[in-house]
Amino acid sequence: MSQEPENHTASNGHAANGNGTGTAVTGAGTSEDTRTAAGENAQTLTTRQGHPLTNNQNTRTVGNRGPATLENYQFIEKISHFDRERVPERVVHARGAGAHGVFEAYGKVGDEPIEKYTRAKLFNTAGKQTPVFVRFSTVGHGGHSPETLRDPRGFAVKFYTEDGNWDLVGNNLKVFFIRDAMKFPDLIHSQKPDPVHNRQTGERIFDFISNTPEAMHMVSFLFSPWGIPANYRQMQGSGVNTYKWVNAQGEAVLVKYHWEPLQGIKNLTAQEAEAIQAKNFNHATQDLYEHIEKGDFPQWELRVQIMSDDEHPELDFDPLDDTKIWPEDQFPHLPVGKMTLNKNPENYFAEVEQSAFGTGVLVDGLDFSDDKMLQGRTFSYSDTQRYRVGTNYLQLPINAPKKHVATNQRDGQMAYHVDSAPGQNNHINYEPSSLNGLKEAPRTAPDHMPQYTGRLVRQTIDRENNFKQAGERYRLHEDWERDDLINNMVGALADANHKVSDKMVELCTNCDPDWGRRLEEGLKAARAGKTAQGGNQYNESKGSDAVAEAEAIAHDAKPY
């Protein structure tokens, strides 16, 4: 952390010198008081109360052997903070890496003026730059899990726009397992460890999937090499959900977002991933950090697909279904800007771990579609941050917008300033008021006002079409990708209950007969002991072999 030079004017306007009053701005965007006590300098260790510490090696005890006494304030402050220095881990997306950067708008969508479709200001001028923070992650595994595991990757971008924050929260794959948020806890529970023996199994995952046919499109990606990106720099990103763009007239279109890595795309087979994991289980975090550190800044182009806002009966799928891809030949990918990541975090916890994203964080010109997954995520994402980081998580520098904030929200855990406006009557924390409280912003463009008629129901969508795009993806895979897909599914299903594996053979056959046939043949061969298929992650046989091998090859040691 750099020290303010003497007599430099700090951010509060006071001279910052050895014993003067002043503040220095740290890299994380917070203010640091530079006043020192007699005998102190900038590197003097203190308590969090500012008391200089002369002995940080020993607790206060009765004699040098103890016992310790209760009034050890220095120790109690230190250890009690240590006991609390981890916030609750994210239930999903716990393992992550992040970086700062900038998004530069092209000022157009494809070859058309972007104002035709959206009034969002961050897109409207060629060359306009918006600061961003990006967090990449794995989805289902814990905070210190290997980055080589088969799993979707999170791809969350926070845009600090002139109109406030916009969070584009998505994954590396363009589809998801389910189309209704009601099933999200079930999905994640099936991918988490067994609640009895605390191990993940292929049987649990495929038990859920075999009873959820809409997941087959995701299976066609996830159990192929696309399920293990080589690193974070060389993977695609997608908003997955369907959103809307709204123009100055209040007219809306449906939109899907896609990040295309300008470094190219690279994926790994299960065997390749295992070899990397044996050497480095943090490889993707290290890769991102080191490329930025040496100035080789990764870039992605943001592209959108646009569709008129109606039900599109001519399509054989519902455009709001997250398990489907909009065909690119009908809905081309139109470039709107480019993102460059050019600065590593200065503190992982403050910036990456405490960063908080939500699908409901939109700015004017961006809006929600009726996508049922999006509707559920919009509550869940922000709610989990209030639980995990705290009620005032948006006051943290990494999450706070880089613009004026004024609200009537008060208090709560860890409130460290009031979102009040200059000259505001601080007695007034409500609206409306005639006593100099906060006022509503003037409306400059009409709201988008979609019209709804229909019965309130609990029903599945009409056009499920669970198998067509999954089969197309299977046939689009390269031969080696199909081989890896079959091997990984066989490895995960070989020890599963036959009810589960038989259902999966049936579903794969519905997608493509070759897929079902190869899976069935692979399962028969694996169960006959003729082949060892798939990676270790969900392979119970290989997992058991590893348990026995650990004891067999271990070296004896004498007790001491």
pLDDT of residue 358 exceeding 80: yes
Strand partners, 302: 259, 337
Please name the residue ranges forming H helices in 317-360: 348
Please name the residue ranges forming H helices in 247-396: 270-279, 283-293, 348, 372-388
**C-alpha to C-alpha distance for 542 and 548, rounded to whole angstroms:** 10
In the block, which residue shows the tokens 């609750």?
88
pLDDT of residue 515 exceeding 80: yes
| pLDDT grade for 14, boundaries at 50, 70 and 90 | very low
pLDDT of residue 91 exceeding 50: yes
Give the CA distances from residue 330 to residues 244, 306, 336, in Å, rounded to whole numbers and listed in that order: 18, 10, 18
What is the structure's pLDDT at 531? 58
Round to the nearest angstrom and report the end-to-end CA distance of the chain: 45
As annotated, the active-site residues are 93, 171
Q: Taking the domains of the chain in order of start, what are their residue ranges?
A: 96-177+228-395
Residue 229 φ/ψ, nearest 5 degrees: -60, 145
**C-alpha to C-alpha distance for 555 and 545, rounded to whole angstroms:** 18
Where is the binding site for heme, in residues? 381
What is the structure's pLDDT at 77? 81
Percent of the chain residues past pLDDT 70, beyond the cut: 92
Percent of the chain residues past pLDDT 90, beyond the cut: 66
| DSSP character at residue 381 | H
Residue 216: enclosing H or E segment and its boundaries? helix 216-222
In the block, which residue shows the tokens 């299976």?
219
| pLDDT grade for 86, boundaries at 50, 70 and 90 | confident
Where is the binding site, in residues? 381
In the block, which residue shows the tokens 């100055």?
248
pLDDT of residue 350 exceeding 50: yes
Contact 468, 175 (CB under 8 A): no
Please name the residue ranges forming H helices in 362-466: 372-388
Cβ-count burial of 206 within 10 angstroms (0-12 exposed, 13-18 middle, 19+ buried)?
A: buried
pLDDT of residue 354 exceeding 90: yes
Task: For residues 151-157, give the mean pLDDT.
Answer: 97
Kindly indicate whether the domain formed by 96-177+228-395 is annotated with CATH number 2.40.180.10.
yes
**C-alpha to C-alpha distance for 211 and 216, rounded to whole angstroms:** 10
Higher-pLDDT residue of 265 and 17 is 265
What pTM, to 2 d.p., does this model score?
A: 0.88
Higher-pLDDT residue of 58 and 354 is 354
**C-alpha to C-alpha distance for 305 and 111, rounded to whole angstroms:** 13
Residue 217, SS3 per DSSP: helix
pLDDT of residue 27 exceeding 90: no
Contact 308, 344 (CB under 8 A): no
| pLDDT, tens digit, 9 for 90 and up, residues 463-513 | 999 999 999 999 999 999 999 999 999 999 999 999 999 999 999 999 999
